[in-house]
Structure 1
Amino acid sequence: MIQSPLSRIDARMTHTVQHSDAPPRLSALFRSDNLFPTLMLGGGIALHAIETYITATLMPSIVRDIGGLALFAWATTLYVAASVIGSIFVAVRPASVTLNRCYVAGAALFGLGSLICAIAPVIGVVLLGRTVQGLGAGLLVALGYSFIRFVYPEPLWRKATTLYAAIWGVSTLLGPSIGGIFANGGAWREAFLMLVPISLLMAYMAPRRLPPGEDRESAPPAPFTQIALVLGSVLLVSFAGSVDEVALRAGLAGLAAVAIAGMLAVERRSQVLLLPARTASLSSPLGRIYAIMVLLMVTLTSDVYIPYFLQELHGLDPLASGYLVAVVALGWTTAAFLTSGLSGRNAIRSIIGGTIIEAASTGAMVFLLARHNPESSILQLAPLTVAIFGMGFGVGMGWAHLVTLVLRLAPDDEKDKASAAITTMQSIGSAFGAALSGVLANSFGLLDPGGVAGSISAATWLFGLLALPALLAFLLAASLRKEIC
């Protein structure tokens, strides 16, 4: 009887759990031989994660200070679109550019982008800074996954991704605290400025504390056509969210869909690939895993508007709204720890359950967030907090298992590309999620009629429609289980 690829993986994963002398502990990442790589890789993830929550908390204050509400979602869209480029560069970089040199570039770019945001006089300069930040973040996050196989033995791969989730959890405390304190004091520029010396210190330490991580003699050619189509699609969707004419908005969104279809068509026929071979089709298990990643991130990134609606509809100040949206990452971290010991079919079941929770929690925002609560009633905020927590919990139940499956499924000669593609898929999903959030919010009342009524309408449509990608992810995840069985 011929086994499917996932069946063979399931058998290997089950064998590892049953016959290893002792399952690896998370603390093994901090042994003397792993300590410095863990601190550096975790530091790169932390820099990105903390800044994400700082910016989420600061953006309402920024647009009130220098204007640009119509471009609110662009701060996230451009950031994650640029991170796509950064993550792809890790896979197609010249052979002479080692992974630790990429880390230096990522940290330096992140610091430069933070400086640009700090001195920005208008929203356009903030968006430029966010773009540069995103390029650096794409490098740093992709390197976290790319370095895993160079610095840890295979049994620690899942533990490393669990550590990344824990870092996001710590960021739920630091990011909103920092952003809220600066926002309440009207000093949002200083919040960006403080990231600059941290970034420069990490750039200085990288070549001294990280191995080169080089394992190839030549660089693969860059898939410029696919990259251009992906970025073009993201930008088209973003433009669609910024225009007033309904017909033009629909046309731009349609062109974005055509661009994605074109990218997949080129990927299936080209000799120069953006993704590992045969993953541009849902007939491939690895292709379905990447698709699940994208769909979950599209749904999750609808949280970009949660701080704004909390402040406008529920009467919360920037600090409180920042902490509530940070509950998303707390949910992700909690789920990652609770499910980190699962393997084989149980890991697939965790992925499936996570997609259901993600869809249900996002859909619940229609009833819990899209309502007027100017007194900040705890009776309304308590179930809303549970739903926000569930949005992160659903993704956290499956993400580490999806990453592990990618690293195991990818052919040996394409593991570098496959690991970089994890961040690419995450960034593409986040970019489309942010862009679609802008389209939906602006189309359904955020700007016209605006105010309380407009915010309620925008939140209703935004979260109702963006629960659908998570439902599609559920169908794809269920197909993986059927294949194993």
Structure 2
Amino acid sequence: MPDRPARLPVGVTTAAPTRASVGLRSDRGPILGSVMISIALIAIDATILATAVPAIVKDLGGFTQFPWLFSAYLLTQAISTPVYGKLADTFGRKPLMLFGIGTFVVGSVLCAVAWSMGALIAFRALQGLGAGAIQPAGMTIMGDIYSVAERAVAQGYIASVWAMSAVVGPALGGLFSDHLSWRWIFWINVPLGLLAAAVLWLRFDERPEPHERRPIDWWGALLVAAASALLLGLLEGGIRWPWWSWQSGVAFGGTAVLLVLFVRVEGRAADPVLPGWLFRHRVLNAATVGAFVAGMVMLGVTSYIPVYAQQVLGAGATVAGFAVAALAIGWPIAATTSGRVYLRWGFRSCLLLGAAFGAGGAVIIALVGPDSPVWLLAVACLVLGLGLGYVVSPSVVALQSAVEFRQRGVATGANMFARSVGSAVGVAMFGAIANAIVADRLGGAEAAGAVELEQLPVGVLDPALQAVFLAVAACALLLVLAGLMMPSRLVDGPDREPATSE
């Protein structure tokens, strides 16, 4: 691919490199590597504990608390992402990225020496705060140092990191737990995090243009509070407490009140965390819809297909893992090749192509039955992965190209936040569907709660998961909406405002 120096001022151009930039041609490779390592760490840590829970509980106790090892990490990561996106525009990408890596490494060290389940949960939350900075800052750096034509390849690398982490994470967790100690799950983050920080420190020379420093929007913390209440209600509703309970009422009622307050105060803020123009921007709205739906679909597939493959089709854990791994193959392939599509036919065509693949893969999953071969699930995941790759990665490229440099961080952060909320909504919705059908077949929620997953008969589990897959297919159809909302091309080339009509 054509190269361009990594030391870029505000207002990045996409012109071909000049002879003066040849001496800096190697800068972008190490920067990309640093971002990939950082994102790999936060992606793997979202799943690596899944196979290590028995060892952790045996060592620390707290069996009833262990779900918070996942919820605390995902919650703090999700709620902090939009705030960090704004800070990346205010203080620069490099300082925020280094802060995120440092916070994540410190959190990892504390997790490794945790003395109780409560301490481990608290330190996982600290890890999540670091991860919340790494994700938007890293994705924004990719938008800064690569042109529109080059971002597809860069996004393909990043997509491959996310996809492979979903498969590698649980395997590494089991490996460390069986042969070393679960604490090595966190110790391994330290050298890799320090390496990523050192490369970024030495090779990324960020030179933002001087501009008027506006006051920090402290009232933007209302968004963090609202997001915390919403995600808490979605992640724990139907699990730790019933959906129709006072806890859910407090969580969702508090969300509504905090959002109303947030909208009122942000309308008067000089430099709000989520500016109003984000919600009036056609490209950003399309990208947000795509990210939200992708988050929902991903959770439905990765959470329930392994269960279906093992408990209904009778496959082993390894075979079930390979079926889901097909998703990790299709996504990077589509992300890497999407540049040829949107540069030739436009972003709308690219997203609609992804919507077609995504809907097709989801429909195949919905048609799978107890007599279907496992390889059919793998084919469905591969097709679905192609669809998500042609939607999610080009959407990020489009939104980063459609806003100014100073707005790129907040736009990227908002998109990452939409995907996190979509994942939480997917967990809640698909879990409620499955639980309702299981309870109906077994004669009530109490009877269903007393039965372990392995004890559920196929006649009960199959219709429950079939209903989930139908819901996933219905959600995947919403990817078409994201494609129709997206303008076909950007006016006057890359990094310009998008067209509002064809």
TM-score, normalised to structure 1, is 0.76
Partner of 1:36: 30
Give the AA of the match of 2:329.
Answer: L
Q: Give ranges in structure 2 of 5+ residues lacking alignment.
A: 1-13, 439-447, 489-499
Does the alignment pair 1:386 with 2:390?
A: no
Counterpart in the other structure of 1:199:
193
Structure 2 distance, partners of 1:448, 1:199, is 43
Task: Classify 1:347/1:180 alpha carbon distance in 2 versus 1 (closer, same or farther; 3 Å).
Answer: farther
Q: CA RMSD in A?
A: 4.1
| Cα distance, 1:250–1:48 mapped onto 2, change above 3 Å | closer
Cα shift readout 1:19-77 (whole Å, capped 9, x = no counterpart): x989xxxxx9x9413222222122212222343453455568868996758975x5554
Q: Is the 8 A contact 2:84 2:136 kept in 1?
A: yes
Relative distance call for 1:393 and 1:134 in structure 2 (3 A) is farther
Distance 1:382 1:130, change over 3 A: farther
**Shift of the alpha carbon at 1:209?**
3.0
| Matched position secondary structure for 2:340 | coil
- Residue matched to 1:291: 289
Q: Which one has the largest radius of gyration?
A: 2
Distance (Å, rounded) in 1 between the aligned partners of 2:98 and 2:224: 23
1:47 aligns with 2:44: no
* Partner residue, 1:361: 361
Say whether residues 1:418 and 2:411 are aligned partners: yes
% of aligned pairs identical?
Answer: 23
Matches within 5 A, 1:256-335: 258=256, 262=260, 266=264, 269=267, 271=269, 273-280=272-279, 284-306=282-304, 307=306, 310=309, 312-313=311-312, 321-335=320-334
Q: Is the 8 A contact 1:340 1:400 kept in 2?
A: no
1:427-453: per-residue Cα shift (whole Å, max 9, x none)? 332333344445445555474544324
Cα 1:154–1:472 change in 2 (3 A) is: closer
| 1:153-180 residue CA offsets vs partner (Å, 9 max, x unmatched) | 4543333222212333554664454235
Distance change in 2, residues 1:21/1:121 (3 Å):
closer
The answer to whether the 8 Å contact 1:41/1:144 transfers is: yes
Which residue of structure 1 lines up, in the alignment, with residue 134 of structure 2? 140
In the alignment, which residue of structure 1 is the partner of 2:484?
A: 478
Map Cα deviations across residues 363-395 of structure 1 (whole Å, 9 max, x no partner).
544554x85x9xxxxx62111122233332221
- The residue number in structure 2 matching 1:6 is none
Check whether the contact 1:230–1:263 (CA below 8 A) recurs between aligned residues: no
Preserved CA contact (<8 Å) 1:234 1:256: no
**What is the CA distance between 1:331 and its match in structure 2?**
1.9
**Contact preservation (8 Å) 1:278, 1:287:** no
Q: State how 1:121-136 maps to structure 2 within 5 Å.
A: 127-136=121-130
* Matching residue of 1:5: none
Which residue of the other structure, out of 435, 456, 462, is the alignment partner of 1:452? 456
Partner of 1:101: 95
Report the equivalent of 2:475.
469
Alpha carbons 1:80, 1:431 under 8 Å: kept: no
1:176-215 superposed matches below 5 A: 176-182=170-176, 187-212=181-206, 214-215=208-209
- Partner deviation per Cα, 1:442-468 (whole Å, 9 max, x = no partner): 555474544324654553343333443
Q: Does 1:218 align with 2:224?
A: no
CA pair 149-186 structure 1, distance change in 2 beyond 3 A? closer
- Alignment partner of 1:167 is 2:173: no
**C-alpha offsets along residues 138-195 of structure 1, whole Å, 9 cap, x if unaligned?**
2112111222354344543333222212333554664454235346669544334322
The aligned residue for residue 4 of structure 2 is none
Which amino acid is 1:195 matched to? N
Distance 1:254 1:132, change over 3 A: closer
Cα separation, partners in 2 of 1:286 and 1:261, compared to 1, 3 Å: same
Q: Which amino acid aligns with 1:293?
A: A
- 2:235 is aligned, of 238, 244, 252, to 238
CA distance in 1, matches of 2:292, 2:388: 11
Gaps of 5+ in 1: 1-15, 23-27, 374-378
Which TM-score applies when normalising by structure 2? 0.74
Amino acid corresponding to residue 470 of structure 2 in structure 1: G
Q: By how many angstroms is 1:244 displaced?
A: 4.7
In structure 2, relative to structure 1, the CA distance for the partners of 1:462 and 1:361 (3 Å cut) is same
- The change in CA–CA distance for 1:448 and 1:244 in structure 2 (over 3 A counts) is farther
| Contact preservation (8 Å) 1:294, 1:426 | yes
| Range with bigger deviation, 254-263 or 399-408 | 254-263
Q: Specify the SS of the correspondent of 1:343.
A: helix
The answer on whether the counterparts of 2:294 and 2:392 sit within 8 Å (CA) in structure 1 is: no
Q: Which moved more, 1:209-218 or 1:396-405?
A: 209-218
- For residue 231 of structure 1, report the CA deviation from its aligned partner: 2.4
- Equivalent position to 2:73, from 47, 69, 79: 79
Specify the code of the residue in structure 2 equivalent to 1:221: D
Give 1:402 shift: 0.6
Aligned residue in 2 for 1:228: 225
Contact 1:56 1:322 in 2 (8 A): no
2:494 aligns with none
Of the structure 1 ranges 313-322 and 465-474, higher mean CA displacement relative to structure 2 is found in 313-322
Contact 2:148-2:401 within 8 A present in 1 as well: no
Quote the Cα distance in structure 2 between the aligned partners of 1:64 and 1:341.
Answer: 52
Name the SS of the counterpart of 2:217 in structure 1: coil
Q: 1:279 to 1:467 in 2, by over 3 A?
A: farther
State the one-letter code of the partner of 2:284: L
CA deviation profile, 1:330-372 (whole Å, cap 9, x unmatched): 221121123231225443222123234334434544554x85x
